[in-house]
Amino acid sequence: MRTAQEQAVATAIIKLMRGVVYREADEDSWTLLERHAAPVRDHFAAIGVQVVVDDIEGYAYLRNADDEDTEEPLPRLVRRRSLTYNVSLLLVLLRKRLVEFEASGSEGKLVLTRDQMVDLLRLFLPDSSNEARVIDQVDTTIRKSAELGFLRQLPRQPGHWEVRRILKAYVDAQTLNDFAGKLTEYAGAHPGGDDD
C-alpha cells in the first residue's frame, strides 16, 4: 500500500507522462507537481528525462535530457515528432503572432479564427484555383496542430482557436528568426500568392 506522498508523486508522474500539464486546466495536478517537484524530477532524471516547468506561463512537460556528456546515451522516451511543411509553417506563424500579441501589451489569451489562420497560411501555400481544397488543407493543418497540443478550440465558439503558450517552448526565438528569413525569401520569390 502506498503512502499519501507516494500516491501524490505517482499521480504527478503519470499526469506528466500523459502529456503537457496546464495549471489552468488541471489545478490539482499542477499543485501536486509544485509540492512534489523534487521526487518527480528525480524519478525522471534516473531515466534520462527532464521535467520542464514554466511557472509564468503555467505549463509543465517532459523532454529528453541532453546525453552529450555520457558515453552511452539512453534510448529516447519522448519521441521526436516529424511535422509536415504546413504544420511547421502554421506553428511558426502562430509563434510570430504570439510574439506580436505579447509585444502589444495584450492580456489574456491569443485567440484566432479559422479564417485568420487561412489568411496567415495562404501566402505560403501553392497557388490554387480550388478554394475548397485550400480550406481543406488549412483545416487539416489546424486539426493536426490541435492534436499536438498547440491549439485548443474554444468551447461554444466554433472556428475560434486559442494559441497555447506551450508553443513558445517548441518554437524558440532563434527558430522563429531563422524561419522568418526563409519565409520572407519565399514570399519574395512567389509574388501574387495572396490574391484576395
CA distance 122 to 138: 9
Residue 43's pLDDT is what?
A: 93
Mean pLDDT by 10 residues, the chain (196 residues): 89 91 91 94 90 91 75 70 84 91 86 92 78 86 92 92 90 72 65 44
DSSP letter for each residue of 65-130: PP-TTSSSPPPPSSPPPP--HHHHHHHHHHHHHHHHHHHTT--S--EEEHHHHHHHHHTTSPP-S-
Query: Looking at the whole model, is its pTM more than 0.85?
Result: no
31: helix, coil or strand? helix
